[in-house]
Structure 1
């Protein structure tokens, strides 16, 4: 069994369940900061060990720079008991550095930096990008590797060079490339690794990840916290059973439009806040898909 502890180079340290919290919108798609804060509070109150605003589930590419800054400030002000590590990545190093500096000044505990996207990136450019971000801030920097969305995969040799940069504390991997992740963990035990797919929560812990960035945890944080805590306590059988349950929840939430499941599932829970729609061109489930999701969740005995 792997020990789910953070890397020695991670001063936070970052571990456990760290949901990529949502950005809430009003009906007119303007940012609802109160509901955004309420969602972050919801997952923390359910036992999550950190929050990651402005990740993929936070719809960060669809926000203006000012909206991103206000989300960071809002979540930092709301959450004090666990690390707040917002996403600050952008296609340009210039904008990424500015976002990172703002987040650090706002009181974020660390920053998560997605690989630059749209333009192809070679190893030298990737290393330079992360060096400039790390040199600009005094908070830990975590690499965010999601080549299916950015179009840019990091080679293991590039990661070797990035890991040597002062201030680089870890990596969140959403590649679903288990051999790549396994080798990265093996080569860099000093870094904290967070697995970024609900399909690989238990396997990620098994190969040495310290944390789970789970979309399912945005809607059902109790389930993913139970999985992590079972594993950390040495109960692998229970952790495996809970991973199977996560597979079922993930399948139910994947019906309908891309990324519609989390906000639709949240709307089916008896909560005192409403995260609203996704921002166009993304959209929530239609009534048929919503009803099917509600039925699936009831079959799974989930609220």
Structure 2
């Protein structure tokens, strides 16, 4: 458990902390889900030192999967690594009914907790958000974490709404990808009973500094040891080393952003011999030129063998 790193919230029975990668969903060439490879990727990050896994986040392409596919992904990941680390499954959807259905399926699959992105597409006010999360928490007896990513959902949570959410039994944490550090710092200060997770690779070290107990890192999907080393250096009190590693994460993050949106992680995995297949359309893989440039950058950073 953490020593120098911030502690998880006192309301969080899972004590989520450290590095929790948002694991990928692997596909066959025809874009059908490869459940075996999806589970193998969860094993890959756990063997790299991850403290938990978060299937069906943004990197898991959850919005492009059917309900049945999502349920099977959760089950596959739980069966592979659920005895080793906490599995907190993404269950969010635009409607409350669909979110509850996915939450119930995740509970049946044995997930340890659920991550609920704010409903998206339609505008949502504070009262609607509170009612949404209350109904989800009433439906399942699982620790529930809010996923706050207004750049993708179009819906941000005001601090007074977070205060109301914190009163819902079963709601135990927030994964914040807003990149709004003042918002995050104040939310952490106001709610010590909640666990906060930094949701951007640009804010791993800064997130720890303002009170996040852990980090949901896309870089950790491809290079888990790098991000685990950052967290463990910080936890051991070596903040200078943690800052150095954050600088390296910035370089890796920039390299992974080459080419189409979100293509970098699967390309980097492929360069390490792990085939997670294509992204599901309309997302797409890097072309050969971009992948060659990525390989060169990652070799220069010392992250590829040979």
Contact residue 2 and residue 207 of structure 1 kept, 8 A: no
1:225 aligned to 2:228? Answer: yes
1:55 aligns with 57
Task: Map Cα deviations across residues 40-77 of structure 1 (whole Å, 9 max, x no partner).
Answer: 00000110000000000000000011100100110011
2:287 aligns with 286
* Structure 1 alignment gaps of length 5 or more: none
Q: 1:112 aligns with which of 93, 112, 115?
A: 115
Q: 2:88 aligns with which of 85, 88, 92?
A: 85
SS of structure 2 residue aligned to 1:86? strand
> What is the Cα deviation at residue 105 of structure 1?
1.4
Q: 2:159 aligns with which of 156, 161, 167?
A: 156
1:275 aligned to 2:276? Answer: yes
Equivalent-residue separation in structure 2 for 1:15 and 1:110 (angstroms):
13
Contact residue 2 and residue 206 of structure 1 kept, 8 A: no
2:266 aligns with 263
Equivalent-residue separation in structure 2 for 1:256 and 1:81 (angstroms):
35
SS of structure 2 residue aligned to 1:237? helix
* Structure 2 alignment gaps of length 5 or more: none
SS of structure 1 residue aligned to 2:8? coil
How do residues 123-142 of structure 1 correspond to structure 2 at under 5 angstroms? 123-142=126-145
> What is the Cα deviation at residue 2 of structure 1?
6.5
1:23 aligned to 2:10? Answer: no
> What is the Cα deviation at residue 3 of structure 1?
3.5
Equivalent-residue separation in structure 2 for 1:28 and 1:98 (angstroms):
27
Task: Map Cα deviations across residues 16-42 of structure 1 (whole Å, 9 max, x no partner).
Answer: 000000000000000000000000000
- What TM-score, normalized by structure 2, do the two folds share? 0.97
Equivalent-residue separation in structure 2 for 1:9 and 1:59 (angstroms):
29
Contact residue 85 and residue 112 of structure 1 kept, 8 A: yes
> What is the Cα deviation at residue 5 of structure 1?
1.2
Task: Map Cα deviations across residues 226-250 of structure 1 (whole Å, 9 max, x no partner).
Answer: 0000000000000000000000000
1:64 aligns with 66
> What is the Cα deviation at residue 98 of structure 1?
0.9
Equivalent-residue separation in structure 1 for 2:115 and 2:87 (angstroms):
10
Q: Which moved more, 1:242-251 or 1:262-271?
A: 262-271
- What TM-score, normalized by structure 1, do the two folds share? 0.98
Task: Map Cα deviations across residues 100-141 of structure 1 (whole Å, 9 max, x no partner).
Answer: 011011100000000000000000000000001111111100
SS of structure 2 residue aligned to 1:194? strand
2:102 aligns with 99
SS of structure 2 residue aligned to 1:166? coil
Q: How many residues align?
A: 301
